[in-house]
Structure 1
Amino acid sequence: MNYRKLGKTGFSVSEISLGTWQVGGKWGDPFSHDNADKILNAAVDAGINFIDTADVYGDGESEKAVGRLVRSRSEQIFVATKCGRRLQPHVADAYQPAVLRQFVEESLRNMQLETLDLVQLHCPPTDVYYRPEIFELFDRLRDEGKIRHLGVSIEKVEEGLKAIEFPNVATVQLIFNMFRQRPPELLFKEAARRDVGLIVRVPLASGLLTGKFSPQTSFSAEDHRNFNRNGEAFDKGETFSGVDYATGLAAVEELKQVFPGDSQLAAFALRWILMFDEVSCVIPGASRPEQILSNLKAAEMPALSAEQLQAVRNVYDRKIKPLVHHTW
């Protein structure tokens, strides 16, 4: 495993880490602590030392599983959670320091930890990034020993650029993949200049970039890839990176020609992300332990060639960019 510095946190984190949105089972399935324990322990066994969760994953059950892992292992494991998405309705006015404090304290209880390594605002509405009192709260929580660092999870480049103006923002979590190529244009450069770590989520565009989907692939009624394609439940960009499914499939077929052979497209897609030095880590999810080992193949691959990088860019420019580039 290779490790990279997570911005101003100073943490040295595995470049392939783990996101836990579906760690207790696939989207829509009941949470399975047995399955979660197997996945989490397989991750640590493989050298992963950074786990990303949130209080809404499994309605707190994911946090409980992550806390149990940390307490049971001797290795240093950095834990990141998120807060804010429990607000109903999820609007800017609902973001209040007292409520966010309560969420952080509940996460501490869920995980049975004294301190959280990283707490991230969980994709708040854009207006929240213009309210200093929200960010000041986390300075107080740090002084109280409840958190070590603050981060933000964003939907739009604009939000990341605004967030990192606050000096206590140590990390930005964002969607970045072969189908979402806008962030390097400015956000990556500004994050590096301010020593802000970049955590990449949705690296495989909700599975599109595994190359395993077809027009006949079906998703369960509870799977966001079925019910959120047009943003019915939350930001459209979280599902297939906001790319129309048929368009995504066509682009994937072209990418398979760029990376022919027996290797899975998913490993190349993850390796493509790691070609950007500004990225601290990528957090693909897993719904079974075998997927951990599959994801780790990317860290062992040689660097992509200039020709391969240009070919990926060409596919994006022709198939994807005109449709979504400036949306996020």
Structure 2
Amino acid sequence: MNYRNIPKTELKVSEICLGTWAMGNDFWGDVDDNASIRTIQAALDSGINFIDTAPAYGAGHAESVVGKAIKGRRDKVILGTKTGVTRTSDSFLRDLRPETILREIDESLSRLGTDYIDLYQIHWPDVNTPLEDSLETLLKLQEQGKFRYLGVSNFTTELMEQAKGLATIVSLQPNYSMLQRKIEETLVPYCLKNEIGLTTYGTLAGGLLTGKYRELPNFDENDNRSRFYNYYRPEIWSQIQGLLSLLDVLAEKYKCPVSYIAIAWALQQPGIVSVLVGAKNEEQAISNAAASTIKLTEGEVQEIDQYIRKELATVAF
């Protein structure tokens, strides 16, 4: 495993971050908690030291699972969680009111079994709450030692600039993959200029870039990924198959799964510190960690880029 520093911090994180949304057991199909705990521990044993979670993942369930899995190993983990999104029975509510943040951080600390969080992130912007009010509350919590560094997720450049004038933001977590490259236009240059690390999610495009699905899948009723990602719509699905064929060739060359190529490509893009990749079992966690060993040539990165710009521009950009 390779490790990179989040700028302006003492956090040296693994290039692969274990994303735990699926472990909330409410959005990506049924997942057994004991299997999730074994998955987290297998990830740690494989060199992954960065775990990302959130209260919104199963209304706190994923955080509880993470807490159980890292018990006795907290000093080996760089722990990231979030605030500002509340999971209800049928939706996600954005809420960054000071009273919500104060409640959520204590609940997160309790579920995670720790007295501090390494990277505390605003999950989504809340248009109904002044950002100044949210950040003032977060800075007080940081001063109290409840978290070490502040990050944001799903912010625009305008919000990043507004936040920069009020607090030190060390990271941005956006959706980014071969099939979702809109951040390259403004957010990536902004983060590079301001020394803000990118810890990206959606690296495998909801599983599509694993190469597992060669026919349009019918997910079970508890798996809602097709609601979150548009890649599983028939008109887009057909456009993506050519990219998978290109990745097949590279996977054959490197004698690795297609997912490794997608992960390696993301890690070789400017500003990327770590990429979030989910796992539902030990085998997936161990496999994801091994993707850190693959490094594409400059020519191969350009070949992928040229194909996407020619054939998938309306999807990726």
TM-score past 0.5 threshold: yes
Change (3 A) 1:74 1:58: closer
Q: In the aligned structure 2, how far is the partner of 1:168 from the partner of 1:39?
A: 33
Given that residues 17 and 274 in structure 2 are in contact (C-alpha distance below 8 angstroms), is that contact kept between their aligned partners in structure 1?
Answer: yes
Given that residues 172 and 199 in structure 2 are in contact (C-alpha distance below 8 angstroms), is that contact kept between their aligned partners in structure 1?
Answer: yes
Residue number in structure 2 paired with 1:86: 86
Residue number in structure 2 paired with 1:249: 241
1:290 to 283, 293, 297: 283
TM-score scaled to structure 2, two decimals? 0.88
* C-alpha displacement of 1:266: 0.8
Residue number in structure 2 paired with 1:218: 218
Residue number in structure 2 paired with 1:67: 67
Residue number in structure 2 paired with 1:37: 37
Query: What are the within-5 Å matches in structure 2 for residues 16-27 of structure 1?
Result: 16-23=16-23, 27=27
Q: In the aligned structure 1, how far is the partner of 2:242 from the partner of 2:128?
A: 37
Q: Deviations over 1:180-200 (max 9, x none)?
A: 223234322321332222111
Given that residues 82 and 119 in structure 1 are in contact (C-alpha distance below 8 angstroms), is that contact kept between their aligned partners in structure 2?
Answer: yes
Q: Deviations over 1:55-87 (max 9, x none)?
A: 121321211122223332264211111122206
2:120 aligned partner, one-letter code: V
Q: In the aligned structure 2, how far is the partner of 1:193 from the partner of 1:147?
A: 25
Residue number in structure 2 paired with 1:119: 120
Q: Deviations over 1:238-278 (max 9, x none)?
A: 45499933323343234434554442211011111111352
Residue number in structure 2 paired with 1:269: 262
Given that residues 179 and 241 in structure 1 are in contact (C-alpha distance below 8 angstroms), is that contact kept between their aligned partners in structure 2?
Answer: no
Identity %: 28
Q: In the aligned structure 2, how far is the partner of 1:271 from the partner of 1:51?
A: 19
Change (3 A) 1:4 1:129: farther
Change (3 A) 1:75 1:256: same
Q: In the aligned structure 2, how far is the partner of 1:219 from the partner of 1:8?
A: 42
Q: In the aligned structure 1, how far is the partner of 2:37 from the partner of 2:313?
A: 39
Change (3 A) 1:77 1:306: same
Given that residues 129 and 162 in structure 1 are in contact (C-alpha distance below 8 angstroms), is that contact kept between their aligned partners in structure 2?
Answer: no
Given that residues 204 and 259 in structure 2 are in contact (C-alpha distance below 8 angstroms), is that contact kept between their aligned partners in structure 1?
Answer: yes
Given that residues 26 and 287 in structure 1 are in contact (C-alpha distance below 8 angstroms), is that contact kept between their aligned partners in structure 2?
Answer: no
* C-alpha displacement of 1:32: 2.5
Mind listing any 5+ residue stretches in structure 2 that lack a counterpart? none
Residue number in structure 2 paired with 1:95: 96
* C-alpha displacement of 1:291: 0.7
Q: In the aligned structure 2, how far is the partner of 1:259 from the partner of 1:161?
A: 40
Residue number in structure 2 paired with 1:310: 302
1:300 aligned partner, one-letter code: T
Residue number in structure 2 paired with 1:181: 181
Residue number in structure 2 paired with 1:322: 314
Q: In the aligned structure 2, how far is the partner of 1:61 from the partner of 1:90?
A: 15
Change (3 A) 1:31 1:157: farther
* C-alpha displacement of 1:139: 0.4
Q: In the aligned structure 2, how far is the partner of 1:138 from the partner of 1:317?
A: 40
Q: In the aligned structure 1, how far is the partner of 2:259 from the partner of 2:184?
A: 21
* C-alpha displacement of 1:166: 4.3
Most deviating of 308-317 and 242-251: 242-251
* C-alpha displacement of 1:29: 3.9
Q: Deviations over 1:204-228 (max 9, x none)?
A: 11111111212342211221234x1
Change (3 A) 1:218 1:26: farther
Given that residues 150 and 171 in structure 2 are in contact (C-alpha distance below 8 angstroms), is that contact kept between their aligned partners in structure 1?
Answer: yes
Residue number in structure 1 paired with 2:170: 170
Q: In the aligned structure 1, how far is the partner of 2:236 from the partner of 2:164?
A: 31
Given that residues 118 and 150 in structure 1 are in contact (C-alpha distance below 8 angstroms), is that contact kept between their aligned partners in structure 2?
Answer: yes
TM-score scaled to structure 1, two decimals? 0.85
SS at match of 1:59: coil
Given that residues 26 and 58 in structure 2 are in contact (C-alpha distance below 8 angstroms), is that contact kept between their aligned partners in structure 1?
Answer: no
Would you say how many aligned residue pairs link Structure 1 and Structure 2?
313
Q: In the aligned structure 2, how far is the partner of 1:241 from the partner of 1:152?
A: 28
